[in-house]
A and B are shown apart, each in its own frame.
Chain A
């Protein structure tokens, strides 16, 4: 009960417009007091409640410290820094423009290119925030410059940036591997198909939308010179930054760097590349670093606020209520699947994917086992579902992260509306995995 009230309170307070990170924190403080009070019923003296409450919040330094020494999260500033260097040196813009030019008169080229670049980035990081922000920095200005609708542009970036969760490597899959007691490698392999299908569906959607409405995603303006010259020019612009991204990926595959470290390779690579194009200056390095500091701090402030939020959620016993509700799920395959997917999607509004993975999934597992569901298949369904939770308004983290790097004329509402079609696509692909597991290589 406290959990649901917490959710509604957070929603109302967020709407006021004070920074998200601290609003989360304040909601958790308020409900922390209530939880302490409830814990001490029937005789809650003021002193005892205060003690209980302070005891609860004395957990915060431990949680913050865990965030600090979680080296996988270093990917966030590193990726953002790479993205901003590429953007400030105009290399990203030229990459996307050139890719867009290759589409000729076909509309939607830059958005499709964004999805493709997002796919490549997704293959080199599994941290939410890292790729969303990098994509936001790289491609939002370009799409807005060429007259794309704000909704399509932001929706595309959120969706493409969140692909990192389903396309390996991915933190979601690593955690599910732990919960499902399945080797991470197997999960990674199983996720490739669904991830790519998602990419294709995004692209098809963008192309169809652009075909139907000529204002949402205009074609690149025609350039002088013959078609051949254009293609040559385009390739010239595409190759270097693309090489960089491939280098980042390559450093993982060749065993040079771990996925997190590969982002640092990318940063140095981006600087070298910018220098080669004579676009690197001390000023760019400095400005990019400062922006990275601010954006990373924005991302981590949200994580710290959210960790206070989930701490109180767990402390108030809300997780046990969820457990009780789920333990009684029915044993027929389709009802079970429908209800469990729905439950996870709903919980995605409240709590982060780590909590869902560890609190909810273990309850579902024994039932899934009895029904005889293929664990890999079930894990991928959950992963897709959790990935969607990063996109769902109002609390989807991707939305906040993108908002944090948007120019002021793009509002939260634009982003909320922009992702809705992509959420539909996610749901459709999810359903297709449920109905046609064979297509994705599941038994």
Chain B
């Protein structure tokens, strides 16, 4: 059962990663397009310029979840490297519950008012020709942290599995040791 949950999260993270890769490419092309339009055609669209950081925000906010599931977050590892896999799993489970989740929950619940204010007032860009519906991009904060909380559950399950299947304390493949590669 828990293995199935882990697989579900792996799939989820793969799809999220693919989606975000696409957004990153869009962002790159967006910036490039704006440069070309301004330099060659002396034409700037404030909306397009704002779209740059909208895409950028989506990448960094939701990327946190992908990085979590796929062990992309950096650690100080001089002790961690020497732990047995079982202990690593314990650190990860405890860390997720006591370090990650409180912060994510605080930001998740703490940003409701922030988004609601923008929505109720119908906030738009303060610049001419800028994007409307500011609540959408502001809303990415609670959504992204919601996804992070959801992913944290999957990450915990993953480490529970790691704990269960490494009772003997054998070595674990180095790819799970951290590092984004």
Q: Which residues of A contact B (CB under 8 A)?
A: 13-23, 25-26, 28-29, 54, 57-58, 60-62, 64-65, 67-71, 73-74, 77-78, 81, 251, 255-257, 260-261, 263-265, 267-268, 285-286, 289-298, 300-302, 305, 308, 394, 400-401, 403-409, 411-413
Interface size on B, residues (CB 8 A): 69
Q: Are A17 and B72 in contact, with the CB atoms below 8 A?
A: no
Query: B76 is contacted by which of A17, A58, A65, A408 (Cβ under 8 Å)?
Result: A17
When chains A and B are docked, how far (Å) is the Cα of A291 from the Cα of B18? 10
Q: Are B78 and A301 in contact, with the CB atoms below 8 A?
A: no
Question: Which residue of B has the minimal Cβ distance to A53?
Answer: B106
Q: Are B78 and A411 in contact, with the CB atoms below 8 A?
A: yes
Determine how close the nearest CB of chain B comes to the CB of A138; give it in whole angstroms: 13
Q: Are B74 and A19 in contact, with the CB atoms below 8 A?
A: yes
B48 within 8 Å of A by Cβ?
A: no
Q: Are B28 and A58 in contact, with the CB atoms below 8 A?
A: no
- Neighbouring B residues of A60 by C-beta, 8 Å: 106-107, 110-111
- Neighbouring B residues of A70 by C-beta, 8 Å: 53
When chains A and B are docked, how far (Å) is the Cα of A26 from the Cα of B48? 37
When chains A and B are docked, how far (Å) is the Cα of A420 from the Cα of B36? 43
- Neighbouring B residues of A308 by C-beta, 8 Å: 103
Extra contacts besides A268-B32, A297-B63, A298-B73 (9): CB < 8 Å: A16-B91, A17-B81, A17-B91, A68-B56, A78-B28, A290-B17, A290-B21, A294-B63, A294-B72
B10 within 8 Å of A by Cβ?
A: no
- Neighbouring A residues of B177 by C-beta, 8 Å: 408
Q: Are B74 and A294 in contact, with the CB atoms below 8 A?
A: no
Q: Are A16 and B61 in contact, with the CB atoms below 8 A?
A: no
A-B contact pairs, 5 of them (CB 8 A): A18-B75, A18-B92, A71-B56, A77-B60, A404-B72
- Neighbouring A residues of B76 by C-beta, 8 Å: 14-15, 17, 20, 394, 403, 412
When chains A and B are docked, how far (Å) is the Cα of A23 from the Cα of B76? 10
Determine how close the nearest CB of chain A comes to the CB of B181; give it in whole angstroms: 6
What does DSSP make chain A's interface, helix, strand, loop or mixed? helix
Q: Are B61 and A26 in contact, with the CB atoms below 8 A?
A: no
Q: Are A293 and B63 in contact, with the CB atoms below 8 A?
A: yes
When chains A and B are docked, how far (Å) is the Cα of A23 from the Cα of B113? 26
Query: B56 is contacted by which of A54, A57, A77 (Cβ under 8 Å)?
Result: A77
When chains A and B are docked, how far (Å) is the Cα of A57 from the Cα of B114? 12
Q: Knowing A81-B28, A256-B39 are in contact, say whether A294-B178 is a contact too (CB < 8 A).
A: no
- Neighbouring B residues of A19 by C-beta, 8 Å: 68, 73-75, 95, 100
Q: Knowing A23-B99, A69-B57 are in contact, say whether A264-B110 is a contact too (CB < 8 A).
A: no
Query: B99 is contacted by which of A22, A293, A400 (Cβ under 8 Å)?
Result: A22
Q: Are B179 and A26 in contact, with the CB atoms below 8 A?
A: no
Q: Are B35 and A261 in contact, with the CB atoms below 8 A?
A: yes
Question: Which residue of A has the minimal Cβ distance to B118?
Answer: A65
Q: Are A267 and B28 in contact, with the CB atoms below 8 A?
A: yes
When chains A and B are docked, how far (Å) is the Cα of A13 from the Cα of B91? 11
Q: Knowing A65-B138, A297-B64, A300-B64 are in contact, say whether A261-B31 is a contact too (CB < 8 A).
A: yes
Q: Are A61 and B141 in contact, with the CB atoms below 8 A?
A: yes
The 6 A-B pairs at the shortest CB distance, nearest first, are namely A17-B80, A297-B63, A18-B95, A25-B103, A289-B21, A19-B73
- Neighbouring B residues of A71 by C-beta, 8 Å: 49, 52-53, 56
When chains A and B are docked, how far (Å) is the Cα of A54 from the Cα of B102? 12
When chains A and B are docked, how far (Å) is the Cα of A67 from the Cα of B140? 13
Determine how close the nearest CB of chain B comes to the CB of A78; give it in whole angstroms: 6
- Neighbouring A residues of B140 by C-beta, 8 Å: 68
Residues of chain B from 14 to 60 with CB closer than 8 A to chain A in the complex: 17-18, 20-22, 24-25, 27-29, 31-32, 34-35, 39, 49, 52-53, 56-57, 59-60
Residues of chain B from 107 to 150 with CB closer than 8 A to chain A in the complex: 107, 110-111, 113-115, 137-138, 140-141
- Neighbouring A residues of B59 by C-beta, 8 Å: 77, 293, 296-297
Q: Are B181 and A264 in contact, with the CB atoms below 8 A?
A: no
- Neighbouring B residues of A297 by C-beta, 8 Å: 59-60, 62-64, 66-67, 72
- Neighbouring B residues of A411 by C-beta, 8 Å: 77-78, 81
- Neighbouring B residues of A400 by C-beta, 8 Å: 74
- Neighbouring B residues of A18 by C-beta, 8 Å: 75, 91-92, 95-96, 99-100
Determine how close the nearest CB of chain A comes to the CB of B73; give it in whole angstroms: 4
When chains A and B are docked, how far (Å) is the Cα of A14 from the Cα of B78? 10
- Neighbouring B residues of A13 by C-beta, 8 Å: 99
B180 within 8 Å of A by Cβ?
A: yes
B79 within 8 Å of A by Cβ?
A: yes
Question: Which residue of B has the minimal Cβ distance to A26?
Answer: B99
B8 within 8 Å of A by Cβ?
A: no
- Neighbouring A residues of B174 by C-beta, 8 Å: 408-409
Question: Which residue of A has the minimal Cβ distance to B20?
Answer: A293
- Neighbouring A residues of B78 by C-beta, 8 Å: 15, 411-413
When chains A and B are docked, how far (Å) is the Cα of A65 from the Cα of B115? 11
B70 within 8 Å of A by Cβ?
A: yes
Query: B18 is contacted by which of A65, A290, A404, A409 (Cβ under 8 Å)?
Result: A290
Determine how close the nearest CB of chain B comes to the CB of A418; give it in whole angstroms: 13
Q: Are A62 and B114 in contact, with the CB atoms below 8 A?
A: yes
Query: B95 is contacted by which of A16, A58, A68, A81 (Cβ under 8 Å)?
Result: A16
When chains A and B are docked, how far (Å) is the Cα of A409 from the Cα of B63? 25
When chains A and B are docked, how far (Å) is the Cα of A405 from the Cα of B29? 25
Query: A294 is contacted by which of B67, B96, B102, B141 (Cβ under 8 Å)?
Result: B67
Q: Are B110 and A267 in contact, with the CB atoms below 8 A?
A: no
Q: Are B32 and A267 in contact, with the CB atoms below 8 A?
A: yes
